[in-house]
Structure 1
Amino acid sequence: MSDITLYRNKELPFLEAKLCRKSDLAYQKHFHEEYSIGLIDEGETQAWCEGLVWRVESGRMISFPPHMLHACQPAEKVNWKYKMLFINPKWFEQIELPHMDTLQIPFLLEDGKNEACSKLLNHTMGYLTINGSPLEIETSLIQLVFTLTNKHASDLAHESHNSLEQKYVKRLKEYIHEYYKDRITLEMLEQETGISRYHLIRMFKKSTHLPPHAYQNLLRINHAKTELKKRIPIAEIAVDTGYYDQSHFSKAFAKIVGATPQTYAMSI
C-alpha cells in the first residue's frame, strides 16, 4: 500500500481526501487553496500556524482555512498516520450552513465535539475509499461541517413539522423513488426542490428519521430482494441497483437484511 493515497469522486469535484502513512514526512510552511480538516490516527505532530505551535496528538482533529500558512513536523521514532479532507471554498457558498464564520480560524477540537467530528470524518473518508454514492459522501461531509461549526451541535434540531416542509419531503421521496437506481447527488435534490443541501437534509431526516442516502439504500435493497427471488444473478443485481461492485452491494445488503445476498437467494 502506498505511503500516501488520494481519493476523489468525479461527481463531487469540490472534495479531495488524503490518507498518509509516511512517518518521516514533514511539511514545510505552505498553504492550501481549499479548506482542510485533518485527523491524526497515529503518532503526533507539532503544527506551526502563523507563529503559534500546537501539539496535535493521536485522535485529535485540526483545521485550516484557505491560504493560512502552516507547517507540520511529526514526532520522531513513532508511527505517523493521518487523514485529511480538502474542500473547495465555493462549496460552502452553496450549502448555507449557519455559523460559517467559525471556519475562518484554525482550531483543535476538544472532548465530545472532537469525538463526534472524528466519527463523521471517518464516515466521509470511508465512503470515499469504497467509492460510495455521492449522496452518502456529501451528506456525511455536511453533517461533519455542521457539527464542526455549531457550538451546540446535535444531529438534527427537533423542530415542529409544517405543511410546506412536508410538501418538500414528499417531492424528495418521489424523486428518490423514481431514480433510486441512479447515483443521485445532493445537487440534483437541491435543483429539484430549490432548497439548499443543508436544509433539505435536515427536513428529510426530521420527517423520515433517515438521511436521503439511507432512504435510497433501503429502496435499492428492497428491490434487490425482489430480484433475488427471481433467481437473477447477484452480480447483475448489484450493477442494476447502482452499487459500485458486488462486494459493496453484499455488505450493504447484509447490514439491512442480516444475511448476504447469496444466503438470502439460497433460502428461497
Structure 2
Amino acid sequence: MPDANTPQFWRDSRMPHVELRQIRDTLKTCYAPHSHIQWSLGAITQGCNTFLYRDKQLRVDTGTLVIIDPDAIHACNPIDNQPWGYRMLYIDTDWLTALRYNSRLLESPHWRDIPVATLSDPHCYASYLRMTDCLIDPHRALLEKQTALTEYLTTLLHKLAKQPLPPLPTSTGRIPEIASFLRAHATEDLSLDMLCQHFEISAGHLIRAFKAYSGFTPHGYLINCRVQLGQQALKAGNPIAEAALQAGFADQPHFQRTFKRMVAATPNQYRRTLLNQH
C-alpha cells in the first residue's frame, strides 16, 4: 500500500495528452502559487481546502471539482492543517481545444479560457471518480479508457459552457459501417484514435452517434461482440480458456467476469446447459 503522503501518478504512452496525479489522506502536501501548461481538472476527495485561483480565494470541500485554465496561477491547501486528498487530471491544451472545437464549443480551433473555477455537482463528481478509476485500472482496455475520458469531458464541457449537446443528424452516416468493422475486428486491440482516423469522424461525435445507433459505446459494442464469440466457441465444445483467447480476452478470469455480467451465467454454467441439451 503506497504511503498516503506520496503522490501517485498515472500515465499511458498511448494517451500522451493526459496524466493523473492522486494524493490520499495527506497531512504534508501544501502548494505555493504555481501554474501548469495544461488544462487541469481536479476532484477534492477528502478535507476542506482554500483554493487560490487568479485573484480569488475560494473554499472547496470534498465532492467539489476544480477547473484550472493553462498558465493560471493557483494553489490549493488544507484548512487548519486537516488531512486532505485529491485527484487531478492534466489535459494537453491542444488536444482539449480540438475536442471543444469538434463539439462546436469554439468558433475556431484556438484555446479560450473557461470562466468557471469550481463545480459542486454530485453527478459530475461521481462520474469523474468513475472515469479516473477507469484510467488508472491496468486491466481496462485502451478503447475503454479513451472512450471514458472523451465522453466525460464532452458532457462536462457542454455543461460548463451552458450549451446543450448538439443534436445528432437524423441519418446514421458511417455508424453501421463502423459497427461492421468492430464485429469483424472484435478480437483486436482497437483504439478510439484509430477508429476516428480510419472513418474520418471526431471522437465525441463517434461515441454519441454510435450510442444512439446501438445503445453501446464503441468499446461496449466490441465487448458484446467478444462475448458472442465466446458463446460460439463454447457451443463448439472448446474449453473455457481456449474460448476466452478465441474471443479476444486477455485471460480466462477477465472472460469469466465479463461473460457472467452480460449473460447472467458463468461460462461453465453455459457449457453445462449446452451439454445437457444433447
- TM-score bucket (shorter structure): 0.7 to 0.9
Q: TM-score, normalised to structure 2's length?
A: 0.82
- 1:12 equivalent in alignment to 2:15: yes
Distance 1:93 1:73, change over 3 A: closer
5+ residue gaps, structure 2: none
Quick check: 1:142 aligned with 2:150? yes
Alignment partner of 2:130 out of 95, 109, 123: 123
1:177 to 2:183 alignment: yes
Q: For 1:47 and 1:30, locate their aligned partners in 2 and report how far apart those are by CA, in whole Å.
A: 12
Aligned counterparts of 2:19 and 2:30: Cα–Cα separation in 1:
20
Aligned to 1:50: 54
| Higher CA-based Rg | 2
Q: Which moved more, 1:53-62 or 1:242-251?
A: 242-251
**1:66 corresponds to which residue?**
70
Residue 170 (structure 2) aligns with: 161
Q: Is the 8 A contact 1:18 1:85 kept in 2?
A: yes
Give the C-alpha shift of residue 167 in structure 1: 3.6
Partner of residue 205, structure 1: 211
Kept after mapping to 2: 8 A contact 1:121/1:141: no
CA displacement at 1:247 relative to structure 2: 4.2
Residue identity opposite 2:68 in structure 1? F
Paired position in structure 1 for 2:118:
108
Q: Does the 8 A contact of 1:6 with 1:19 survive in 2?
A: yes
Name the SS of the counterpart of 1:29 in structure 2: coil
Secondary structure of 1:119's match?
helix
**Amino acid in the other structure paired with 1:147:** T
For the residues of structure 1 that align with 2:8 and 2:238, how far apart are their CA atoms? 36
Higher relative contact order (CA 8 A, sep 6+): 1
Aligned length: 261
Cα pair 2:51 2:77 within 8 Å, conserved:
yes
C-alpha distance after superposition, 1:145-186 (max 9, x if no partner): 2222214566x6664522xxx241112112211222222111
Counterparts in 2 of 1:48 and 1:238: CA distance versus 1, 3 Å: farther
In structure 1, distance between residues paired with 2:250 and 2:34: 36
Provide the C-alpha distance between the structure 1 equivalents of 2:39 and 2:241, rounded to a whole number of angstroms: 39
Contact 1:43 1:57 in 2 (8 A): yes
Q: Is the 2:37–2:70 Cα contact (8 Å) retained in structure 1?
A: yes
Report the residue type matching 2:70 in the other structure. Answer: P
Partner-residue secondary structure (3-state), 1:127: helix
**Contact kept in structure 1, 2:256 and 2:266, CA below 8 Å:** yes
Do the aligned partners of residues 233 and 42 (structure 1) sit closer, same or farther apart at CA in structure 2, a change above 3 Å counting?
farther
User: What amino acid is the match of 1:105?
Assistant: P
Whether the aligned pair in 2 keeps the contact of 1:120 and 1:143 (CA below 8 Å) is: no
TM-score (structure 1 length as normaliser): 0.85
The letter for the 1-side match of 2:186 is Y
Contact 1:130–1:248 (8 Å) recurs in 2:
no
Identity among equivalent pairs (%): 27
Q: CA deviation at 1:230?
A: 4.6
Q: Is the 8 A contact 2:233 2:246 kept in 1?
A: no
Q: Contact 1:48–1:72 at 8 Å: present in 2 too?
A: yes
Tell me which residue corresponds to 1:187.
Answer: 193
Counterpart of 2:34 (choices 30, 35, 57) is 30
Cα distance change on mapping 1:245 and 1:87 into 2, 3 Å: farther
Which residue is 2:88 aligned to? 84
Is the contact between residue 41 and residue 58 of structure 1 (CA under 8 Å) also seen in structure 2? yes
The CA distance in 2 between the partners of 1:9 and 1:48, in whole Å, is: 30
Instruction: Kindly provide the CA deviation profile for residues 32-82 of structure 1, in whole angstroms up to 9, marking residues without a partner as x.
Output: 222111111221211111231111111111111211111111234644222
**Contact 2:53 2:117 survives alignment (8 Å):** no
- Aligned residue type for 1:148: L
Cα distance change on mapping 1:210 and 1:265 into 2, 3 Å: same
User: Segments of 4+ in structure 1 off by > 6 A?
Assistant: none
